[in-house]
Amino acid sequence: MSRPFVALPCALFALATPALLSSSARADFIDHFATSDDIGLLKAPHLGEVRVVVIPVIIDDLPFAQGTEAAFLDEVAGFFAPDAEGFAFTPYWVTQSLGRYRPVATVSAPVHFPSCPLIGGFEDCEIPRGGGITDGNLQTAAATLRGSLFFLDQIMKCAQTGPGVGVSCTQGGGVDLAQFDTSGQVPGTPDGFVDGVLVVSNAGFPGITLPVQELSENALMNLLGLLPSFQYGAETVPSVAIAGRTELPQHEIWVAVHEFGHVLGFADLYDETGATTDMPYTVMGGWYYGSAAPLLDPFSRLAIGYGHVVQVAGDGTFELGPVDQTGTVLKVGTGDEFFVVELRRKLPGVLDEDLDVEAGVVVERVRLQKRPSPERGQYLNTLQNCVNCIPYDSFLSIEQADGLFQLERGVGRDDEDDLFLAGDQIAPSDDVEPRGVAHAVFSTNRMDGAATGITIRVLAVAPESATIEITAPPVADACAEIAPYCGELPCEDG
């Protein structure tokens, strides 16, 4: 099972003090929108039409999974074509955002290198998970990260100016980074930061997104010698997403969709340790690139402002349309731990193609106290201490309708039992002891055991609609509860 993010620099930088990691007052970009103050600077803009650049990197002495360079480039061009239909880069994010965001990709001229440089002692750009840190080899880990940053800088220079003094590519050029700086903290206003860079390649790169400009400022790493700044004239490249190598029948180019989620600000939601089943029903979790991607999970879409959120303010019955059309998400509960509920459906060749049922209701538990920190210097800690790696103590989790906790136990997903179908419900429990591996209780109680008084009951489910009956305590100010998820949209009675 291939995962798209390799946390190769984590443990190395965990050795650095916050003082070494800090400089200007900026947040970390994969904080799941704990802050939006760093949009443009670190997170890519996510509203309106923006332009992103896709750089094909061809390593001449390595083969292509597609058979030939021409076939590889044809697949890249097709997937990133702005007018593509079905599952492809632009329509995926347009649907995801309910039309609020349209990234228009331009595929640059291929950048050719005769071979991959040796990166931390690894050949062919095949950097293993851990990058040397798993066996305690800090020297290898440091060399791997530094080598990766220098090679990415070479790629950026070659994409702009082609072969020349100080670069080792044999072909490339023509990219004007200013054309890819069209938005920022103020949508539609350039800010000196490129709005998105994606690398696709026939090399054995791991799937990874690096905040290259922030890492280049790291004081500890610069003690080993100055790193490239990722500033090119008036433009700065804040991050680079790399679509990593996968094994057939997975599609390596599709990895770019997950990695671009990091560029926008999302953390990984799979279990890096492998102890539990990777969180399903989200492109940031258990999706393995062999079928059209799932949407983001409901809370992630609310966090970025891509949902129509309804605060349940008391007992009621709700009719939900499919979330890919309506965007409607019910928020049930208040405070730092609550549930979000939506209707998902399978759209072969377009969205959520990995579902084993035609449609089902997702019930997700949200624990804001486990959200990644937005503080500068916490990025690498977020990688190292993944937010969904501790069962019964995670940031986001899927409530499973059969109440067997098979995702937490690592048994695997079963959509027919995990999604809520007609007749399924989750209700309060009289057991108010804290939940954990040795004490798993299927209920709407908080993970500390405290009762919430919430019952979520599904009365009917079909691909076009679901009927959900909810019992919940009254909410005094429903609009205040959902204000962080409304963006510029008006709130009317929650």
Q: What does the pLDDT look like over 262-294, one tens digit per residue?
A: 999 999 999 878 889 999 999 999 999 999 999
Per-residue pLDDT band at 399 (split at 50, 70, 90): very high
Reference 122, options 104, 144, 101; nearest CA is 144
For 72, the 3-state DSSP assignment is: helix
Task: Decide if pLDDT at 7 tops 70.
Answer: no
pLDDT attached to residue 331? 97
Lowest-pLDDT choice from 50-59, 124-133, 396-405: 124-133
pLDDT digits over 359-396, tens only?
A: 999 999 999 999 988 876 666 666 667 888 889 999 99
Reference 305, options 337, 264, 253; nearest CA is 264
Strands 328-332 and 337-345: antiparallel
- Across 39-48, 61-70, 338-347, 374-383, which has the greatest mean pLDDT? 338-347
Give the pTM.
0.92
For 447, the 3-state DSSP assignment is: coil
Phi-psi category of 116—alpha, beta or left, where left has phi over 0 and alpha has psi -120 to 50? beta
Q: Are 149 and 24 in contact (CB under 8 A)?
A: no
| Neighbouring-strand partners of residue 344 | 360
* 222 Cβ contact partners less than 8 Å away, ≥ 6 residues apart: none
